[in-house]
Each structure stands twice: as structure tokens, then as C-alpha cells.
Amino acid sequence: MKIDSREIKRVLKFASIGVLNTGIDIAIFAALVYALGWPSLPAQCVSYFLAFLNSYWWNRRWTFGMRERGSAKELVKFGLVNALSFLCATGVLLAAEKGLDLAPILAKLVSVAASLAVNYAGSKLWVFRQGPELGSGN
């Protein structure tokens, strides 16, 4: 399978939005845990959700170039991919924090890697899949 320059650009855009989302996620998580004294699990839910909203907007518009109005079906699909990604990340977060006795912020960093592949594959192949360029349609 040959990867063309458009696909390379798309992957780079996805990665840069991922860095932005990770920054948002970690910053909010750290603020909730360290500044406000929240436990890791509720902080994880809030920080991940806010990064999710940012991710949807930027990936839909910028990475995948979708200009028409989004559908409820698309948002549900994006939500399902992110729910699976969230479950992976949260499982790793809790295992690293409790099982490996890592500080919450270090456990959070480890958890980010767990969600990356699920999120990209789901977004590219299922949520924002477009006609012949990316496959045979939705």
C-alpha cells in the first residue's frame, strides 16, 4: 500500500491535534488533581471529555477537511471511538497509578500512549472515512 503526500499530511495534522489535545487533557487533569484536590478518576473524566470536544472540532475540520454540517451519526461514531480510547487510557492510568505506584501525572502520561492507536484508526477508518480517497465510503 502506497502512502501519498495527502495521507502523510493528514497523519501529521492528526498528530499535531493529538499533541494539542494531550496538552489540554494533561493540563486540566493536573489542575483538577493538584490545584483542586480531585481524585484521579473524576479528573480523568472531565479532562478527557474537554479534550474530546477539541479533538472532534479540529480533526473534523482541519485533519479530514469536512466542511458540511456534521451528522448525529458521525458524532456518535466519534464518541464510540473515543469511549473505547477512554476505556483503554483509563485502565492504563489506574493500573499504572495503583499497580505500579506511579504518581498520578506519570500514570496519566503512560495512559496517553494506550489511546493513540485506537483513536487514529477509528477516526480515519470509520468516523471520517470519505469516498474512494479513503475507501469505499461510510
Angle between helix 104-122 and 40-58 (nearest 10): 30
Instruction: State the helix-helix crossing angle for 40-58 and 5-30, rounded to 10 degrees.
Output: 150
Contact indicator for 89, 47 with CB cutoff of 8 Å = no
Contacts of 10 (CB under 8 A, 6+ apart): 63, 64, 124
Check whether 137 has a pLDDT greater than 50. Answer: no
Tell me which residue range forms the domain holding 117: 5-134
pLDDT tens column, 50-71: 998 899 889 999 998 888 887 8
Residue 24 binned pLDDT confidence (cut-offs 50, 70, 90) = very high
| pTM greater than 0.85 | no
The closest alpha carbon to 111, from 56, 36, 51, 64, belongs to 51
pLDDT band at 16 (very low <50, low <70, confident <90, very high): very high
| pLDDT in the model for residue 131 | 60
Q: Could you give the number of structural domains in the chain?
A: 1
User: Mean pLDDT, to the nearest integer, of 121-138?
Assistant: 68
